[in-house]
Amino acid sequence: MEALSLLQWLIDGLIGIGLLWLAWRALFCPELFKAIVLFIAFGLLMTLAWVRLKAPDVALAEVAIGAGLTGALLLSSWAKLRDFDANKGMGVREKNRVQSEQKTKRPFFHWLSATPVLLMAVGLGYGVLQLSPYATGLSTAVAENLDASGVSNPVTAVLLNFRAYDTLLEIAVLLLALIGIWSLEIRPSVREATLDPVLDLLARLLTPLLLLVSAYLLWVGAHASGGAFQAGSVLGAAGVLLILAGWRLPLSLAGLPLRITLVVGLSTFIAVAVLMMLDRGQLLAFPPSQASLIIFVLETTATLSIAAILAALFLGSRPDHSEKI
């Protein structure tokens, strides 16, 4: 038993130190590309930390959204930045870029900001150590009401029943981010004309697999780890893969059909909320007998919308404008 707990400590200590080290290097190493790769590695290690903290649902979300999508987003943004540089730059651009990537505020400012941050770290550490060692969370309240929630995975029950209102607003945040990006009117990049047979094959093989996994996660979410966000982001990753392989949405679908897909999750959520309001006098109050069906409908539409939004976030520019310019 003693050896076992020592091993646990070693593993957790290694993960903790690894996280701090990766974060430190990602934030302070001179080259930006290296920083991004380190950040992706950070996300992957974070997944292991979530697993160690007994939160497989979070691990799934982190791996699907955090590692998969954020990594691809960062890499592609970095590449676009460099393209801007290359377009305007002459011979010295490489040197300039490296300088701008490392640029920080004046050294005096480093000390000025390090002091309060250190104080904050000490204060926060003290505050956390002062907490009573017994968690006073809501696990019993959730467990007592789980039967009436329509699902048996407590995390899904919280997300789609007990605190479904948060989830509604959160899907609104996703949609808002996309509308905000579209209103920036970024020119689409005209690159990656070449088609790679191996990449094509990979995309052809992985896309159906991603579809299957997404459906599986959606289905399994009711009683084990998984759910709309995980499923949606895996499906969204399929979209990202297709975009990377050079595939584009046909223009006929890029207008209203795409927009409807983007909003169907949020709209269904609102519609259900209003229906429940009319029926039971309370926003989003699902009758326990039909709760599992309602949650399934909500999750399915949410998965579709989340996937479409994430893929569109990755694309950046509005797909119905991209061919015209």
Partner 1 sequence: METFYLVLVLFLLLNLAAGMWRVLLGPTAADRMMAAQLFGTTAVAVLLLLGQVEGRSALHDVAFVFALLSAVTAVAFVRRAWSEQEKKHDSK
Partner 2 sequence: MSIAVLYALVGIGLFCLGVYALMIHAHLLRKILALNIMGSGVFMVLLALAGRTEIMPDPVPAAMVITGIVVAVSATAFALALMLKISAVTGRAELNDEEEK
Partner 3 sequence: MTLSDYLSVLFLLAGAVFFLAGTVGLLRFPDVYTRLHALTKADNVGLGLIVIGLAMQAESYASVGKLLLIWLLVLLAGSSISHLIAKKALQKGVRMWRR
Q: Report the distance separating Cα 11 and Cα 95, nearest Å.
A: 41
147 binds, among partner 2, partner 1, partner 3, none (CB under 5 to 8 A by kind): none
Within positions 98 to 137, which residues make up the interface with partner 2, using CB under 8 A?
100-101, 103-105, 109-110, 113-114, 117-118, 120-121, 124-125, 128-129, 131, 133-135, 137
| Phi, psi values for residue 141, rounded to 5° | -60, -40
Are 116 and 184 a contacting pair, CB within 8 Å? no
Establish if 48 lies at the interface with partner 1 (CB under 8 A): yes
Examine residue 240 and tell whether it contacts partner 1 (CB under 8 A): yes
d(CA 52, CA 208): 31
Q: Are 26 and 101 in contact (CB under 8 A)?
A: no
Question: According to the binding rule CB under 8 A, does residue 244 interact with partner 1?
Answer: yes
**Amino acid (1-letter code) at residue 105:** K
34, 77, 192, 223: which one contacts partner 2 (CB under 8 A)?
Answer: 77
The encoded tokens of residue 264 equal 């169907």
Distance CA 66, CA 59 (A): 9
The residue among 76 and 292 lying less far from partner 1, judged by its C-beta, is 76
| 23 interacts with, out of partner 3, partner 1, partner 2, none, CB within 5 to 8 A per kind | partner 2
Question: In whole angstroms, what is the distance from residue 211 CA to residue 231 CA?
Answer: 9
The CA distance from 219 to 102, in Å, is 46
Q: What backbone phi and psi angles, to 5 degrees, belong to 205?
A: -80, -40
In 3D space, the residue among 121, 295, 283, 131 whose CA is nearest the CA of residue 221 turns out to be: 295
Task: Kindly tell me which residue out of 1, 2, 3, 88 binds partner 2, with binding defined by CB under 8 A.
Answer: 88
Of 129-137, 150-158, 201-209, 259-267: span binding partner 3 (CB under 8 A): 201-209
DSSP 259-321: HHHHHHHHHHHHHHHHHHHHHHSSTT---TTTHHHHHHHHHHHHHHHHHHHHHHHHH-S-HHH
> Rounded distance, CA 55 to CA 160, Å?
17
- Which 209-268 residues touch partner 3, going by CB under 8 A? 209
Residue 79, contacted partner among partner 1, partner 3, partner 2, none, CB below 5-8 A by kind: partner 1
316 binds partner 1 (CB under 8 A): no
When asked if residue 64 is in the footprint of partner 1 (CB under 8 A), the reply is yes
Pick from 49, 148, 181, 206 the residue near partner 1 by CB under 8 A: 206
- Separation between Cα atoms, residue 34 and residue 28, nearest integer Å: 10
Q: Which of residues 78-137 bind partner 1 (CB under 8 A)?
A: 78-79, 82-83, 86
Dist CA 97 CA 31 (whole Å): 10
Question: Least separation, in Å, of the C-beta of 74 and partner 1?
Answer: 9
Q: State which of residues 144, 147, 196, 323 lies at the interface with partner 3 (CB under 8 A).
A: 196
CA atoms 11, 17, 20, 25: torsion sign: negative
Q: Which does 224 bind (CB under 5 to 8 A by kind): partner 1, partner 2, partner 3, none?
A: partner 1
Among 19, 23, 49, 52, binds partner 1 (CB under 8 A): 52
How many residues bind partner 2 (CB under 8 A)? The answer is 93
Q: Could you list the residues that contact partner 1 (CB under 8 A)? A: 3-4, 7-8, 10-11, 14-15, 18, 22, 25, 29, 33-34, 37-38, 40-41, 44-45, 47-48, 51-52, 54, 56-57, 59-60, 63-64, 67-68, 71-72, 75-76, 78-79, 82-83, 86, 191-192, 199, 202, 206, 209-210, 213, 216-217, 220, 224-226, 230, 234, 237, 240-241, 244-245
Q: Could you list the residues that contact partner 3 (CB under 8 A)? A: 196, 198-199, 201-202, 205-206, 209
